[in-house]
Amino acid sequence: MLTRQSLDLRQQQTLVLTPQLQQSIKVLQLSGAELEQELAQALLDNPLLERLDVQMDVAAEPLPEAASGEAESSWASLEFPKHQGDSHDPDWSPESAIDQDLAAYLSEQLGLLRLSDRDRVLAQLLIDELDDNGYLPVSLDEVLACLPAELDIDESDLRCALAQVQSLDPAGVGARDLAECLSLQLMQQAQQLEPALFDCARYLVREHVGVLASPSQLRQRCAGLYPAELVERAHHLILKLDPKPGRAWTQNVSAYVVPDVLLIRGKDSWQAALNPLAVPRLQLVNLHDYEIEAHPALLAERQKATGLLRSVNSRFVTILRVAQAIVQMQQDFFTQGVSALKPMQLADLAAELDLHESTISRATRQKYMQTPHGVMELKQFFTVALASVDGKADMSAASVRAQIVQMIRDEPPAKPLSDQQITDLLQAQGLTLARRTVAKYREAEGLAPASQRKMRAAAGI
């Protein structure tokens, strides 16, 4: 096979991202917290960048559009609203009370028991192994294998320690599976229950815990052993037990979101404005040109700082433009709620603002707006349209989900609506929706099927 060398003349177009454009894209897609971290690092690395300490009134004012031919000196004096929160302002940085966690709660009870030091240490060891739901996710053999052999601890010692843990409050803590958890709770109620009811309930959780959600299967499996009426009573009793006894002590760290955009009620409509507490107030250090020329490294640092200020300003200008367009399209939502949310996609805003869809996506990712219905991510306003019978797609998926939730809330507890009945009601309103779609929306809202809702209503829970 012969090889040849040749010269070809070809014409092609390539898109080259300048460093400034790359930085603008990066800054735009950052969340508020990520931007604070980025700027904090920049303040440490760049000696020509500083944060202003001048106090200002908290008034949401949109930033001016940045002209491409603006002189560098204008960016050096660009003022960003200052982050006014500090450690002396409780309204800015609320501190949630640190509740006692499950391990501390159990350890406190353990200290009140008369135990030997050996048993107390083993019980504390098991307490430390519990998960957030109060279960012991490891076996006693695994715990035993981690203990030094010279301590001369056997499995019977761990079983005694586990029994001490399982005797603590809340009932069911220290269980190794769901059946044991429910059994422990039944044991603590044994004195107040009828012997037959207690025996039947223990049998159900021990032998048929996997079908507790199906009363019909329970009746079939218990036929000939217990009367149907007793099985139903035992089933209702089990439903009132807590399958996750430790979740009430689970300490969730509250995440406080500072909205990037505030919603202001005008005379006839809602308006969007930047939150001054979310916009950093930065500027270039004031140095004379001859000082910078005397140190060439400072010239590069000034260019970096100026580029960063441009990117930050461009970020908030874009966010404000996108937020204003969203507010203009969703005026009814802010007044009437989720049921009035209109279908809207990225392409709709991209066409209106003459921006690329990727820019809209970056400008709405982890960017939040303070609304009458709470703090919402801007991405939540984008939802697909559902076709109606007459062919007009004028209802969003979010509003349909809100309707399904409202239907279930208003249903008679003794006769809950099935997914097919909800589908028929929506179709009567002119919406073409499949039953599986209704089931998917219902599950996404955390709502149980009709059979389980009826069962819980009968049990009074």
Give residue-wise pLDDT tens across range 272-330: 999 998 899 888 888 776 666 667 777 788 888 889 999 999 999 999 999 999 999 88
Q: pLDDT tier at 460 (50, 70, 90 boundaries)? A: low
CB distance 42 to 301 below 8 Å:
no
Confidence at residue 133, expressed as pLDDT on a 0 to 100 scale: 87
Average pLDDT over residues 79-104: 48
Asked whether the predicted pLDDT for residue 67 surpasses 60, the reply is no
pLDDT tens, residue by residue, 342-395? 888 888 889 999 999 999 999 998 999 998 888 889 988 888 777 665 555 566
Confidence at residue 75, expressed as pLDDT on a 0 to 100 scale: 33
Asked whether the predicted pLDDT for residue 87 surpasses 70, the reply is no
30 closest CA partner among 309, 350, 315: 315
Confidence at residue 316, expressed as pLDDT on a 0 to 100 scale: 94
Task: Give the β-pairing of 270-274 and 261-265.
Answer: antiparallel
Q: What is the mean pLDDT of the chain?
A: 79
Mean pLDDT lowest among 10-19, 124-133, 156-165, 250-259: 250-259
Asked whether the predicted pLDDT for residue 260 surpasses 50, the reply is yes
Asked whether the predicted pLDDT for residue 96 surpasses 50, the reply is no
pTM of the model: 0.55
CB distance 378 to 338 below 8 Å:
no
Average pLDDT over residues 81-107: 53
State the Cα–Cα distance between residues 1 and 19, nearest whole angstrom: 46
Q: What percent of the chain shows pLDDT beyond 90? A: 10
Please spell the DSSP secondary structure of 387-398, one letter per residue: -BTTS---EEHH
Asked whether the predicted pLDDT for residue 58 surpasses 50, the reply is no
pLDDT tens, residue by residue, 167-220? 998 888 988 888 888 989 988 888 888 888 888 888 888 888 877 777 777 778
State the Cα–Cα distance between residues 350 and 376, nearest whole angstrom: 20
- 361 versus 80: the higher-pLDDT residue is 361
Please state the separation of Cα 323 from the chain's center in Å.
21
Confidence at residue 49, expressed as pLDDT on a 0 to 100 scale: 86
State the Cα–Cα distance between residues 126 and 13, nearest whole angstrom: 66
What is the DSSP secondary structure assignment for residue 383, as one 8-state letter?
B
CB distance 173 to 166 below 8 Å:
yes
The tokens for 23 are 């930085």
pLDDT tens, residue by residue, 116-128? 888 888 888 888 8
CB distance 126 to 143 below 8 Å:
yes
Neighbours of 18 (CB within 10 A): 8
Q: pLDDT tier at 1 (50, 70, 90 boundaries)? A: low
Average pLDDT over residues 236-243: 86
State the Cα–Cα distance between residues 283 and 280, nearest whole angstrom: 10
State the Cα–Cα distance between residues 436 and 265, nearest whole angstrom: 40
Asked whether the predicted pLDDT for residue 13 surpasses 80, the reply is no
Confidence at residue 77, expressed as pLDDT on a 0 to 100 scale: 36
Asked whether the predicted pLDDT for residue 86 surpasses 60, the reply is no
CB distance 259 to 97 below 8 Å:
no
Q: pLDDT tier at 234 (50, 70, 90 boundaries)? A: confident
Confidence at residue 398, expressed as pLDDT on a 0 to 100 scale: 76
**What are the phi and psi torsion angles at 451 (to 5°)?**
-65, -40
307 closest CA partner among 24, 81, 15: 24
- 421 versus 389: the higher-pLDDT residue is 421
